[in-house]
Amino acid sequence: MRPGQVEAAAWLLIYGGLLAAVLGWFVSDRAWALGLGFMLAGAACAVAGGVLVFVRARMKGPSQENEP
């Protein structure tokens, strides 16, 4: 994957995961199991996005490809 694609996927996972976790928190008052599922899935997505941020930081950027 190109660095731009990794960066876009990382932020999509982070923000989408946080949104799902907050949605699960609000839903958990009415349906505990559904809310817990949303919170766990959202947290997993946010963590995966954080890992992608680390992966993107370790990738060579366009200006670093020609350096030794």
pTM of the model: 0.84
Residues in the chain: 68
pLDDT of residue 12: 98
pLDDT of residue 64: 57
As a whole number of angstroms, the distance between CA 48 and CA 40 comes to: 12
pLDDT of residue 39: 98
pLDDT of residue 23: 97
What stretches in the chain show pLDDT beneath 70? 62-68
pLDDT of residue 60: 81
